[in-house]
Structure 1
Amino acid sequence: MIQRTAGALPRQLTGFVGREEEVARVTDLLGQGRLVTVLGPGGVGKTRIALHVAERVAPRYADGARFVELSGLRDPELIAHTVASTLGLAEQDARCQLDVLLEYLRGRDLLLVLDTCEHLSDACAMLTEVVLRECPGVTVLATSRHALNVLGEFSHPVPPMPVPDPDDADALRHSAVELFERRAAAVVPGFALDETGRRDAVRLCRRLDGIPLAIELATVRLRALPLQRLVERLEDRFQLLTGGSRAALSRHQTLRTGIEWSHDLCTPQERVLWRRLSVFAGGFDAEAAEEVCAGDGLDRAEVLEALIGLVDKSVVLRADQGGDRYRQLDTLREYGAERLAEAGEERELRGRHIERCRRLADRLDRRFTEEQLGSFRALAAEHADIRVALEYAFGTAGWETRAAHLAASLWGYWQISGRLKEGRYWLSKAVEALPEHAPERVWPMGVRAYLGTFRGELDEALADLDQATDLPEGPDERLRGRIHLYRHLALVFAGRHDDAVPEYDACLAAAKAAGDFTTEVSLLAQQAYLHLLAGRLDEAVAVGAEGLARLEGLDTEMWLRSYILVITSAALTFKGDTDGAEAAAGPAIRMKRELGDFVGLAYSLEVSALGALGQERLERAAWLLGAADPLWERAGERLGGTAIMEAFHQEAVRALCAGLGEGHFAELFAEGAEHPLDEVADAAVAGADTLTPGRRDPPPGRAALTVREREVAGLIAEGLSNRAIAERLIISKRTVDTHVENILAKLGVSSRVLVGQRLAEPAPE
C-alpha cells in the first residue's frame, strides 16, 4: 500500500541511553549550518545518535525528517537513485535521476539523514554539495567514519561512552553502566546491580572502552555466565593480547577483540552462518538464510537453530519487533565478510546469493499473472541484495551471462516499482558486457527498449529492437514474442499505429506457440490503448474486455488488470458512459495503491477526474487532478507524454476553472496534492465528492506558502513570466503554472501584480 511516509525515520527497538551531551551538541550544530556529520568508528553509536537528534528536531522542518540508509549500496553511480527511491520518487523520467531528486527537494523544507557514508565518501560529498547548493530548504545530517570535506560542513566526533572509576558511588548514573544494566535486564529477567555487581559492571565497561556495540555483545553472555565470571573471562582475553601488561589496546582493536571474543564463543555452526550471512546487503529471512548458507559444514536443518543462537548473542538483529526479517550491523557484517574470504568461500557464497536473486526474479517473470503480488513484494524486500548481486556478477569474469539474465528477468520488478532508470542502468551494463553478436544480448536489449519506451526514449528503444531482431541467432519463440511485444508498444507510443499492426500479428503468433500467457494479455492491453489513442472507443472497450476475461480467476494479478481497467474507464468516459467509467476506475485505483505503483495510480486518478468532470462533479474532479499531480511530477511526464491524453487534461483544467472559479479550483487542486495519498485513494474508490477530513487552510499570507512557493512568489514580484521562472529554477512550466495558481489562492489575490504588494505587507501575527 502506498504511503506518503517514504524515508520515514525507522523505529528504534531498544531504548536510547545517555549521550545527552552528544545529542545537544549535534542539535546545536544543526542550528548553525546545513550540513552536520556525526563521526566515529564502527560500533560507537553514530546512527542511534543521528536518529535521536532527527526525531527531536523534525518539527523544525515543514516536511519533517527523512532517513536514507546507504550501508547496502556499493555502486556510487546509484546514490542519486537510492536517495530518490527512498524518498518515494518513481524513476519513469527521461532526465538524470539527480535532476529528479533536486527538483523534488527544491520545494521541500526537510532534514535529510544520510546514514553510513564512509564507503561512498566521494559520491556522498558530491551529492551533498549539490543538494545544499540547489535546495535551500534542505539540511543534511550524515553519519560517517570520516568527514565528507564539503564546504560549510560541521562535524562532531562521537567518543565512546564515559566510564566511571570503579570506586565511584554514582557509577550507575554513567551511561556506559546504565547501558549495560538495561541490556542485561533484557537478557536476564529481574537483573539488577548490587554493590559487587556495580564494580564488576564498571570493570567490564572500562575493559571495553565504553564502546556500545562491544558492551552489548558482552552482555548477552550473561545467559551462560554470572557477571563476575564474565568479567574475569574478558580480562583474561585482553591480558593475553597485551602480554599481561596494563597497556591499552586502541579502540579499534578493543572493538575487534570484543567481536572476536563473541565469535569464539559461538558454536561451530553459528560461526559458519555468521560469515556466510555477510553476503546479504540488507535484511533476510530464515528461508533466505537456509537457501544461501546451508551446505558444506552447515546442514539446512541446522541453519534455523544457528540463526536463533546468533540472535540470542546480538550478532544478528530482528529487523522489526516480532517479524520474520533479520539484519546484521555493518561492523559485524564486515567481520563476517573477512572470515568468509579467509575460508575461501566468497565466490561460492556470492554465487548462491546471485542464484537466489535469479530464482526470485524468474518466479515473477515466469508466473507474472499467477503469483504477482507475492513475488513482487519478495523482490522489493530484497532490493539492496539485488543490487549487490548484480554488481558482484558484473564484476566477476565469466559471470556476464548470469548477470545479464538476472537484470533482464527483473523486467516486471523494474516496471511495477517504477525503477525504470535503474533497470536501464543494469541492462546497459549487460549489453556492454556481452559480445556484440552474442544471442544472450537479445533479452537484455529488448527489456532495455521496453523500459526506455515508458521513459519516452522512443528512438533509442526502436534502435535497440532493430539490433535485437538482427542478431544472427534468433531467440526462442517466447523471447521472439517478447521482442515483437516491445516493438508494438514503442510504435503505439510513437503514434505509428499502422506500423504496429504487423508487430501485433507476429507477437500473437509467437506467444501462442510458446504458450506465453503474460505476453498475450500484455498485447491485448497495448492494443486497447492503441484503439483509445486512435479514437476507436468501442474497439478499446472490446479488447479491454477480452483482456479482463483472460485474467478471470487470477486474483493476484493486479498490474495488467488495473491498466486495462484504466484504459476501459477512459474509453467509457469519452463515450459518455460516466457510470461505467467510474465502476472501472475504482478497482484500478485500489489495485495500483496495493501494488505501490505510483505511475499507475496517477493514471487512475487522472482518468477518474475526467469521469467526474463528465458527471459534472467538479469539486471531485479538481482534487483528483491535484492528487495525481505530485505523482506525475515524480514520473516526470504526465500521461506518458501522449499528446491526445494531455489535450484532454488541459481541456479539463479549463472547464474546472470556468465552473469553479480559478481560486476555488486552485484550493481544491492543492487539497488533493497535499492530502495523505491513502486517504485520497480511499475517497476516490468510495466515490466521495469531498476529502474528509479536509485539509485546514491557513489564513492568506506569506506563512501559508511553502518554501518553493515563496521562491516562485519572489520571482513573480520581480516580473518574471511563468516560462522565465521555469528556466530560472530548472523545473517544468507546468509545475510553475500550478505553483502560481496556488500562490494566488493562498495570498487571496486575483492578479500577479498584487503578489508583490502582498509579500511587502507585514507578516500576520
Structure 2
Amino acid sequence: MFANSGRVVANAFVGREHELSSLRTALRANRLTSLVGPGGIGKTRLVRELARRSTKDFRIVELAALTDENALLDFVAAALGVREKPGECPLSAIVARAETQSFVLVLDNCEHVVEECGALVERLLRHCRGLRVVVTSREPLSLPGEVVLRLGPLPADVAAKLFTDRAGIDGALTEQDRAAISRICDNVEGLPLAVELAARRARATCVREVADGLADMLHHDLRATIEWSYRLLSPPEKALLREVSLLVNGFTLDAAGAICPVGDVLPTLLRLAAKSLIERTAAPEGSIRFRMPESIRVFAAEQLRRTGGEPAAWTRTLDWLTALTLPLRDDVYVPQSFTLEVDAERDNLLAAVRRMTESGERPDDRVLLTTALARGWQFSGRVTAALRMLEQVLADVPASPNRAVALQSVAWGQDSLGNAAEATGAAAEAVRCARANGQVSLEMRSLNSVGCVLGRSDRYATAEAVYRHAVAIAPPEQPMAAALLQHNHAWMLVSAGEHDRAAELLARCLPVYRHHLAGPDLVHILHTASAVDLALGRYADARELLLETLRIAPSNTNSLPHVTEGLGVLAVHDGQPVLALVHFAAATAYRTRMQRVASSGWCRQIEAAADDARAAVSAKDLQAAERRGRAMSEDALRAFLVAEPESATLTTRELEVVRHLADGDGNQEIARRLGMASRTVSCHLERVKEKLGIHDRSGLQQWYLVEHG
C-alpha cells in the first residue's frame, strides 16, 4: 500500500469546494480524470488538497522538472518505489507493481510530455484494474474514457477571500479597501497565483496602493503578474531569486547560501516566501526546503540570463554540488544520511550533469556528480538506469582522479543485479585506480566492495584475505574505516556459518559504530549482530537488538524484513510456532513486493527455524498463519511488529481463563468458576489466541502446560 504523498501545505485552502467535490466524484466514477487549465490556475493545489483529505493512497509524480521525455519512466518508478529486477524493463516493473495494488496515480504538470504520459497511462489502465489516474495539464491526454474537468478562474467573492487570507488582513475592511480588493481581483481575472502575489505585496503596503499600481502596470496574464511582482523586489531579493532559479526542484538554506553572494540569505528567503515567490516545503527527517513555482522559476532564470549572471551562477552551483558529494571520494564510510541528502538534490544533480555533458566543462566533477546521482537511483531501485549513466561517463572521461568512485558504484550495482563477474571486475579496477592515485580511503572502500562480492559468491577464503589487507592499510585517524571492514568481514563469516569468529569481530567494531554513528546508520551492523546472537542461542540479546532496530529506524525498508524474520525465530524459541509462521510469511511477501533477496547465510537460518515451526503446527494452522502474513501491507506489518511485545502479554484474567481451560474445563464451567458470562469467556479465549498466534483450544492448553505447568 502506498502512503498518501501530498506535500505539506502551510496556507489555508480557500474556496474551490465545488471543484474539489467534482474531482472527488469524478475520481470515484472514472479511472482517468484530467484536470485542465492554464498555468497558475490552481490545478496542483486542488489535487493535493484532495490527497490531503482522502483516505485513499495517492502517489504524486511531479513532472515540472522533467526535461527529457525519456526519463518519464524513471520519475514514475521512483514515485512508486519500484525496484528493478535483472533484465526487466522499467515499464514492465511499473506495471507489475501497479497491477497488484489499489491507489491513485497523479501525473502533475504533464503538458510538456502529453504524448508520453498518454501512452503510459493507456498501458497502465489496461493492465492494472485497481489503478485510478489523475492528470494535471494545460491540455487533456485525449484517451478513451478520459473525463476532463476544466478549472477556471476564481469567482470574485472567493478571489477576494483568498486575497484577504494571503494578505493577512484580520480586522474589519473599509469600503475603500473592499473596492480596492475587488479591483485587484478583477484585474488579475481571478487567477489564484496572481491574487496571491498581489496579496503578499499588500503585506508591505496598503491595499489601495497595490490596486493603484496594478492599474498601470499589470497585464492580463501570469507573466505580467510575475514581472510586476519582480519589479517591486529589492536588489538583494531580485539577486537571490535569479540565483536559485538554477535549482530545478527546490533547495535548502545551505544551498542558497553557497550559491548566492548576497550575505545572510535567510531574511531574504523569508521575505520572498512572504511574497509567494518561493514556498517552504517539508522534507525527509523534518528538514526544510524551499522551492519556486515553475512559472516563477522559468521567469527568474530568464532574468539571470538577461543580466549576464548565468555563467557565474552555474560555477557556484557546480562548486556547491561538488562539495556536497566529496564524501564519496574522501570517506571510507558514507552514512545513510549522506545518501538521503544527496538524493534530495537528484533533480539539481541531473541538471548539472546534463549541463557538464553538453558543455564538456569540469569533466572530473562530472564523474563525481554522476556517481552521486547514480547512488541515489541505485538505492531507490533504478539500478539499470544508474549503470547506463555510469558507463557513459566512464567512457566519456576515461582518465579522471574520480574514476575509482564511479567504478565502485558500478560494482555495487552489478552485484545487486547478481552479475558477480562484472561486479568483481569493476571493483578490482577501482582498487587499481585508487592505488595509482594514492587515494587510500577510496582504495579501502573498493577493497570492501571486492570482499562483499567475493563473499556473496561463496569465495570466503579469498574474501577474508581481501578484508585483512584492507584493515591493515586503514589509517588510525579514521577508526570507522577499520570498523566498516571488520563489520562486513563479520557478515561474510555469518554467511559462511562461522558465527563464533563473527562474534569476535563484532565485539571490536560494534562499539566503534555506536560511538561514531546513531539512528538509521546503525541498522546494518545491528542486523549482523542479531543474526550472530540468534545463531549462537543468545536470544535475549538478539531480541534487544531487533527491537532497537525498530526504535531507531521505524521507516527503514531494508531492515523491516530482517526484523520480522528475527522476531519470528524468537517466536519459535518461545514456543509460538503459529506466530513465527506469520512473521516468516509476512517477510517473504514483503521481500517479493520490494524485489529484494536475503543473503544465503541468513536464508539458511530462517529456513531452519521455519521448518521447526511448520513441524509443530497442523496443516490448518499453517495455512491460516501464512495467509495472515501474506495479506499484511507494509503499514500493517509495522503496526504488527510494534504492538507485538505488548500484545503477547496476557492479563491476569486472561491467564486465569487459560488455566481453567488447561484443566479441562469447558466455557460454561470456566464462566461459573470465575463469575462471568460464557460469552465473555469466549471473548477472552479469542483474544488470547490472537495474542499468542495460536489457532485452537488444544494449542492453548499445550502452551499453558509448557509455560506455566
Contact 1:414 1:423 (8 Å CA) reproduced: yes
Question: What secondary structure, in the 3-state scheme, does the structure 1 residue paired with 2:558 have?
Answer: helix
- 1:214-233: per-residue Cα shift (whole Å, max 9, x none)? 11111222234433332222
Corresponding position: 1:277 with 2:244 = yes
The counterpart of 2:576, out of the listed 594, 617, 624, is 617
Contact 1:623 1:673 (8 Å CA) reproduced: no
Corresponding position: 1:65 with 2:53 = no
Match of 1:205 in 2: 185
Question: What secondary structure, in the 3-state scheme, does the structure 2 residue paired with 1:318 have?
Answer: strand
Counterparts of 2:649 and 2:97, CA distance in 1: 27
Contact 1:362 1:409 (8 Å CA) reproduced: no
The counterpart of 2:567, out of the listed 591, 608, 623, is 608
Question: What secondary structure, in the 3-state scheme, does the structure 2 residue paired with 1:181 have?
Answer: helix
Shift of 1:512: 4.0
Question: What secondary structure, in the 3-state scheme, does the structure 1 residue paired with 2:117 have?
Answer: helix
Corresponding position: 1:389 with 2:318 = no
Match of 1:226 in 2: 206
- 1:294-351: per-residue Cα shift (whole Å, max 9, x none)? 2xxx3x13x2332232122221222259985322111111111111122222233233
Match of 1:707 in 2: none
Question: What secondary structure, in the 3-state scheme, does the structure 2 residue paired with 1:155 have?
Answer: strand
Corresponding position: 1:190 with 2:190 = no
Counterparts of 1:92 and 1:542, CA distance in 2: 36
Question: What secondary structure, in the 3-state scheme, does the structure 1 residue paired with 2:129 have?
Answer: coil
5 Å matches for 1:354-433?
354-363=318-327, 366=330, 372=335, 375-408=338-371, 420=383, 423-433=386-396
Cα distance change on mapping 1:350 and 1:678 into 2, 3 Å? farther
Contact 1:599 1:635 (8 Å CA) reproduced: no
Contact 2:105 2:133 (8 Å CA) reproduced: yes
Cα distance change on mapping 1:52 and 1:468 into 2, 3 Å? closer
Shift of 1:266: 0.6
Corresponding position: 1:23 with 2:16 = no
Q: Which consecutive unaligned segments of at least 5 residues does structure 2 have?
A: 652-692, 694-709
5 Å matches for 1:81-96?
81-89=74-82, 95-96=88-89
Corresponding position: 1:41 with 2:38 = yes
Question: What secondary structure, in the 3-state scheme, does the structure 2 residue paired with 1:284 have?
Answer: coil
Shift of 1:203: 2.1
Counterparts of 1:654 and 1:341, CA distance in 2: 68
Ranked by relative contact order (alpha carbons within 8 Å, sequence separation 6 or more), the top structure is 1
5 Å matches for 1:588-599?
588-593=549-554, 596-599=555-558
Counterparts of 2:80 and 2:636, CA distance in 1: 15
Cα distance change on mapping 1:198 and 1:663 into 2, 3 Å? same
Match of 1:117 in 2: 110
> What is the aligned length?
646
Cα distance change on mapping 1:152 and 1:441 into 2, 3 Å? farther
Match of 1:646 in 2: 603
The counterpart of 1:256, out of the listed 213, 219, 223, is 223
Question: What secondary structure, in the 3-state scheme, does the structure 2 residue paired with 1:41 have?
Answer: coil
Corresponding position: 1:586 with 2:543 = no
Counterparts of 1:398 and 1:609, CA distance in 2: 54
Cα distance change on mapping 1:224 and 1:474 into 2, 3 Å? closer
Counterparts of 2:282 and 2:526, CA distance in 1: 36
Cα distance change on mapping 1:91 and 1:354 into 2, 3 Å? farther
Counterparts of 1:53 and 1:558, CA distance in 2: 33
Counterparts of 2:550 and 2:21, CA distance in 1: 46
What TM-score comes out, normalization by structure 2 length? 0.81
Which deviates more, 82-91 or 503-512? Answer: 82-91
Counterparts of 2:50 and 2:526, CA distance in 1: 46
Question: What secondary structure, in the 3-state scheme, does the structure 2 residue paired with 1:139 have?
Answer: strand
Match of 1:148 in 2: 141
Contact 1:485 1:519 (8 Å CA) reproduced: no
Cα distance change on mapping 1:99 and 1:351 into 2, 3 Å? farther
Q: What letter corresponds to residue 293 of structure 1 in structure 2?
A: C
Corresponding position: 1:656 with 2:617 = no
Corresponding position: 1:129 with 2:122 = yes
Q: What letter corresponds to residue 69 of structure 1 in structure 2?
A: E
Shift of 1:620: 4.1
Question: What secondary structure, in the 3-state scheme, does the structure 2 residue paired with 1:551 have?
Answer: helix
Q: What letter corresponds to residue 621 of structure 1 in structure 2?
A: A
Counterparts of 2:268 and 2:541, CA distance in 1: 57
Corresponding position: 1:496 with 2:459 = yes
Contact 2:34 2:149 (8 Å CA) reproduced: yes
What TM-score comes out, normalization by structure 1 length? 0.76
- 1:443-470: per-residue Cα shift (whole Å, max 9, x none)? 2012210233234232321232344456
Counterparts of 2:517 and 2:402, CA distance in 1: 34
The counterpart of 1:267, out of the listed 216, 230, 234, is 234
Contact 1:461 1:490 (8 Å CA) reproduced: yes
Q: Which consecutive unaligned segments of at least 5 residues does structure 1 have?
A: 164-173, 239-248, 693-744, 746-765
Counterparts of 1:668 and 1:74, CA distance in 2: 44
Contact 1:364 1:375 (8 Å CA) reproduced: no
5 Å matches for 1:312-391?
312-320=274-282, 324-363=288-327, 366=330, 372=335, 375-391=338-354
Shift of 1:277: 1.6
Corresponding position: 1:669 with 2:652 = no
Contact 2:567 2:580 (8 Å CA) reproduced: yes
Shift of 1:31: 4.4
Shift of 1:575: 2.9
Counterparts of 2:27 and 2:343, CA distance in 1: 34
Contact 1:113 1:140 (8 Å CA) reproduced: yes
The RMSD of aligned alpha carbons is 3.5
Shift of 1:422: 5.9
Corresponding position: 1:13 with 2:34 = no
Shift of 1:412: 7.3
Contact 1:112 1:140 (8 Å CA) reproduced: yes
Counterparts of 1:142 and 1:323, CA distance in 2: 29
Q: What letter corresponds to residue 268 of structure 1 in structure 2?
A: P
Cα distance change on mapping 1:9 and 1:410 into 2, 3 Å? closer
Counterparts of 1:260 and 1:149, CA distance in 2: 34
Counterparts of 2:328 and 2:433, CA distance in 1: 27
Question: What secondary structure, in the 3-state scheme, does the structure 2 residue paired with 1:598 have?
Answer: coil
Q: What letter corresponds to residue 659 of structure 1 in structure 2?
A: A
Shift of 1:364: 7.3
Corresponding position: 1:487 with 2:487 = no
Cα distance change on mapping 1:523 and 1:71 into 2, 3 Å? same
Match of 2:132 in 1: 139
Question: What secondary structure, in the 3-state scheme, does the structure 2 residue paired with 1:190 have?
Answer: coil
Contact 1:90 1:634 (8 Å CA) reproduced: no
Which deviates more, 305-314 or 577-586? Answer: 577-586
Counterparts of 1:133 and 1:234, CA distance in 2: 50
Cα distance change on mapping 1:628 and 1:472 into 2, 3 Å? closer
Cα distance change on mapping 1:327 and 1:411 into 2, 3 Å? closer
Counterparts of 2:615 and 2:18, CA distance in 1: 59
Contact 1:365 1:412 (8 Å CA) reproduced: no
Q: What letter corresponds to residue 214 of structure 2 in structure 1?
A: L
Contact 2:36 2:140 (8 Å CA) reproduced: yes
Question: What secondary structure, in the 3-state scheme, does the structure 1 residue paired with 2:436 have?
Answer: coil
Identity of aligned residues (%): 26
Counterparts of 1:501 and 1:320, CA distance in 2: 45
Match of 2:99 in 1: 106
Counterparts of 1:149 and 1:463, CA distance in 2: 49
Shift of 1:417: 6.3
5 Å matches for 1:268-307?
268-294=235-261, 298=262, 300-301=263-264, 303-307=265-269
Which deviates more, 89-98 or 349-358? Answer: 89-98
Counterparts of 1:675 and 1:470, CA distance in 2: 45
- 1:66-106: per-residue Cα shift (whole Å, max 9, x none)? 32323344444444443343344566877444444332221
Shift of 1:490: 0.7
